[in-house]
């Protein structure tokens, strides 16, 4: 690579793009040399940093900025369709497809073969495939490594290692519990979410998800998290995202920053008193700047210091910079 770029260097300001850089970690030494000695710029893409971090590769400390590309978000889609997003997921081809099932099947299958096996992250592909499905059943829930291991026929430590693979390959993430100065007994274990609701739908064989019912509610909550995670990165604000739940069952789906914004997601078109319980309890314990209930209601309103926002208004205000302070 060095010889080629020295012989025919790119025009000034044009970066060199290298995709799947994690597959050849030694290239980073060449990139480092070319940055330092020839002033070249690079765009380095990849779906996993695991091999680089664990193999002692040159991570270009102080010379590279990290950006994460997420599935589509509502602000990128004209005439965004919530029901379509909940059913298809937000990967571009999947969202646009009339029937994304085969694409999702190919995506999950190819990911197992090409990413997990090719990087030798695990040698037991059948067990990992069973784990992926078990992890989908835990999507949005507190994870019990030993229970999942029992279901998959593997050990608890192996399950923990598999979740680390999902994190390192950007297939999923843990949302930590909010634990600061708790006045009540709270749940302290993190929750796990896959990176895209469409992948969960495929793994759980959900079929068509109609508005109403528990399945739609879970998928709706997951979609709101996807928007928050993408906004956190794209906006550059970098706020923390946590959840809050007491041992008695009171909960807030997402707490942004240090008590900055508390968000509860309910798939109802008529928010009632019982939908406010978690946010009300959180406001009793913490001086939160803003409490928001995201729903399917037709219009925004205020109730006892809590803002009820229809999902479309919430997404618009989120991307308009009105929800989280910079």
Domain check: are 44 and 95 in the same one? no
As a dihedral over the C-alpha atoms of residue 52, residue 56, residue 59, residue 62, rounded to 10 degrees, the angle is 150
In a domain, residue 123? The reply is yes
> What CA–CA distance (Å, rounded) separates 255 from 178?
7
Q: Cα dist. 310→54, 144, 299, 306 in Å?
A: 44, 33, 6, 13
In a domain, residue 7? The reply is yes
Domain holding 259, by residue range, is: 79-319
Domain check: are 43 and 87 in the same one? no
Domain check: are 160 and 98 in the same one? yes
In a domain, residue 60? The reply is no
The number of helices, as runs of H, and strands, as runs of E, in the chain is 13, 11
pLDDT at site 20: 82
pLDDT at site 51: 65
In a domain, residue 105? The reply is yes
Domain check: are 151 and 284 in the same one? yes
Domain check: are 310 and 229 in the same one? yes
Domain check: are 26 and 126 in the same one? no
> What CA–CA distance (Å, rounded) separates 97 from 95?
6
Domain check: are 43 and 161 in the same one? no
In a domain, residue 135? The reply is yes
In a domain, residue 223? The reply is yes
Q: Which helix (H) or strand (E) holds 18?
A: strand 16-18
Contact assessment for residue 264 and residue 253, using Cβ atoms and an 8 Å cutoff: yes
Helices (H), 111-213: 125-137, 145-152, 156-168, 197-204
In a domain, residue 15? The reply is yes
pLDDT at site 270: 94
Domain check: are 122 and 212 in the same one? yes
In a domain, residue 66? The reply is no
Domain check: are 39 and 108 in the same one? no
pLDDT at site 113: 61
pLDDT at site 53: 66
List the one residue out of 140, 143, 180 whose CA is nearest residue 164: 143
Structural domain count, the chain: 2
Domain check: are 135 and 29 in the same one? no
Domain check: are 46 and 102 in the same one? no
The series of mean pLDDT values per 10 residues for the chain, 326 residues long, is: 83 88 84 88 81 68 83 96 97 93 86 61 77 93 94 92 87 92 85 96 93 93 98 94 95 94 97 96 93 97 95 97 87
Domain check: are 38 and 146 in the same one? no
């Amino acid at each position: 690579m060095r010889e080629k770029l020295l012989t025919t260097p790119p025009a000034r300001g044009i970066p060199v793009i290298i995709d799947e850089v994690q597959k050849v970690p030694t290239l980073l030494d060449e990139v480092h040399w070319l940055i330092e000695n020839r002033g070249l710029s690079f765009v380095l893409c990849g779906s996993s940093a695991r091999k680089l971090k664990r193999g002692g590769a040159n991570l270009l400390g102080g010379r590279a900025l990290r950006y994460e590309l997420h599935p589509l978000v509502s602000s990128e889609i004209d005439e965004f369709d919530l029901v379509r997003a909940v059913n298809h997921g937000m990967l571009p081809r999947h969202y646009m497809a009339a029937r994304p099932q085969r694409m999702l099947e190919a995506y999950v299958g190819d990911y197992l073969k090409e990413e997990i096996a090719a990087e030798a992250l695990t040698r037991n592909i059948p067990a990992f495939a069973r784990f992926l499905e078990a992890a989908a059943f835990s999507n949005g829930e507190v994870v019990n490594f030993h229970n999942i291991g029992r279901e998959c026929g593997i050990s608890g430590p192996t399950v923990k290692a598999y979740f680390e693979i999902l994190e390192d390959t950007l297939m999923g993430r843990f949302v930590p519990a909010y634990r600061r100065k708790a006045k009540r007994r709270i749940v302290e274990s993190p929750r796990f979410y896959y990176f895209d609701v469409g992948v969960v739908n495929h793994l759980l064989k959900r079929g068509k998800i109609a508005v109403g019912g528990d399945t739609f509610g879970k998928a709706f909550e997951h979609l709101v998290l996807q928007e928050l995670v993408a906004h956190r990165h794209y906006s550059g604000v970098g706020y923390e995202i946590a959840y809050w739940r007491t041992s008695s069952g009171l909960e807030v789906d997402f707490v942004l920053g240090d008590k900055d914004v508390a968000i509860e997601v309910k798939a109802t078109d008529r928010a009632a008193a019982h939908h406010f319980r978690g946010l009300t309890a959180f406001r009793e314990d913490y001086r939160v700047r803003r409490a928001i209930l995201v729903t399917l209601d037709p219009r925004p309103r205020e109730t006892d210091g809590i803002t009820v926002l229809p999902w479309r208004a919430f997404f618009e205000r989120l991307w308009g910079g009105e929800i989280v302070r910079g």
